[in-house]
Chains A and B, each alone.
Chain A
Amino acid sequence: MIATLVADLASSTSVDAYVVAQSAAHPILAWIRDTAIGEFVRSSTWAFPTLQALHFIGMTLLIGIVGAIDLRVLGIARSVPLAPLHRFLPLAFLGFGINLVTGIFFFCHDPWVYAFNISFRIKMLLILLAGLNALWFRLGVFLDLETWGPGIEASRIAKVISALSLLIWIGVITAGRYIAFT
């Protein structure tokens, strides 16, 4: 947003005044913008799309693994034993970590774009929901890991949670894409 404003108002002397006013209104956002991370992301044309590519690769790890577990629970690959599939979960957390870090980089790039963006807020809420949904699965349903062998059908409640998980993650991706267009 700032970059666009700067470009739009490049010939105008009001640009500095605008940024000063904006920074004064939201000192925390201004501080985030002025961190070394923010400076780094703004410093190069390639930084932002490359970080986005990393964000997408993290997403394939996170949602690919969680999605594989969900699809197995829903019965699409019932002959896959669930316990060894579940052992891929640390890599899903690695994907989440990559996306948390790259996400922080995006936010520092221009905090004003994200802080007031409805798509961003919906996305954060959906990620929280996905986390709670996964906790429900792990603590409420999926207690006897080793018994979910090949061909074993999951309980109805487990299927409901897995279907919710897939829907929520699709929502996260959709809201994430809409951030750039709202």
Chain B
Amino acid sequence: MALLVGLQVVINLRVLGFGRELPIPPLRRFMSVVWIGFWVNAASGTLLFMISPDKLFHSTLFRIKLSLIAAGLIFGAVLNSSLLNVGDEYAPSNTRTAGRAKAVAVLSLACWFAAIVTGRWLAYTTFADVGIGGVE
């Protein structure tokens, strides 16, 4: 998750104008690591799901979390295709991004952080975080 969300935090903050000297397109190199993070979490998440599939499947909080992840992936893909994947390896720095791109970056950050929050709440409503099998 540190890779999946953390590296996207860097990219999104740059899109929002933080550290403007940093050229944007080379940051796409980080996206392959973002995907490694995503698949590690998808695999371990599937195993965690199998602990209590019935309970999770019918949980509204779980559905919200998965929706937030799906939305986060879409916003990430939008930024990736519009700003990162433009084929300019040694791109100029100090570029400004459009207002629309900034809006997408804000939504992306909001989705990932909200996914973290719902994920933590889920642990306590479903597993109480200790003693696997569903306490409460």
Binding site for B on A (CB under 8 A): 45-46, 48-50, 52-53, 56-57, 59-65, 67-68, 71, 76-81, 83-85, 87-88, 91, 150-151, 169, 173, 180-181
- Chain A residue at smallest Cβ distance from B22: A84
Contact of B18 among A53, A79, A81, A91 (CB under 8 A): A91
Chain B residues with Cβ under 8 A from A78's Cβ? 29
The chain B residues found within 8 Å of chain A, CB to CB, are: 1-3, 5-10, 13, 18-23, 26-27, 29-30, 32-33, 89-90, 93, 112-113, 116-117, 119-121, 123-124, 129-130
20 extra interchain contacts, Cβ-Cβ under 8 A, other than A81-B23, A85-B10, A88-B13? A49-B123, A57-B113, A59-B2, A60-B5, A63-B6, A64-B6, A64-B7, A64-B10, A67-B6, A68-B30, A71-B30, A76-B32, A77-B27, A80-B23, A80-B26, A80-B27, A81-B21, A85-B22, A87-B21, A151-B90
A167 to chain B, nearest CB (A): 13
Question: Contacts A49-B123, A180-B130 hold; do A61 and B18 have CB atoms under 8 A apart?
Answer: no
Which of chain A's residues have a CB closer than 8 A to the CB of B90? 79, 150-151
Residue among B10, B21, B26 with the highest chain A CB neighbour number at 10 A? B10
- Asked whether, in the complex, the Cβ of A67 is within 8 Å of the Cβ of B2, the reply is yes
A83 / chain B contacts, CB cutoff of 8 Å: 21
Evaluate contact between B19 and A87: CB separation under 8 angstroms.
Answer: yes
- Shortest beta-carbon distance, A91 to chain B, in Å? 7
- Residues of chain A contacted by B123 (CB below 8 angstroms): 49
Q: Is there an interface contact between B21 and A79, defined as CB atoms closer than 8 Å? A: no
**Cβ of A50: which chain B residues have Cβ within 8 Å of it?**
117, 120-121
B2/A64 in contact, CB under 8 A: yes
A44 to B: closest C-beta gap in Å = 11
Interchain CB contact (< 8 A) of A76 among B20, B33, B130: B33
Residues on B with beta carbons closer than 8 Å to the beta carbon of A56: 1, 116, 120
What chain A residues lie within 8 Å of B20 (beta carbons)? 84
Bound form: Cα–Cα A168–B8 in Å: 21
Q: Residue of B at shortest CB range from A55?
A: B120
Contact A173 B2 (CB under 8 A): yes
A120 CB, nearest partner CB in chain B, Å: 15
Partner of A91, one of B7, B13, B120, B124: B13
On whether the beta carbons of B26 and A79 are closer than 8 Å, the reply is: yes
**Distance in angstroms between the alpha carbons of A114 and B123 in the assembled complex:** 20
Contact B121 A60 (CB under 8 A): no
Q: A57-B113, A76-B29, A76-B33 are in contact. Are A49 and B120 (CB under 8 A)?
A: yes
User: B29 to chain A: which residues have CB within 8 Å?
Assistant: 76-80
Contact A88 B10 (CB under 8 A): yes
Chain B residues in 8 Å Cβ range of A65: 6, 9-10
Give the nearest-CB partner of B117 in chain A. Answer: A53
In chain A, what residue has the closest Cβ to B88?
A79
Complex Cα–Cα for A87 and B124 (A)? 37
Nearest-neighbour CB distance to chain A for B55, whole angstroms, equals 17
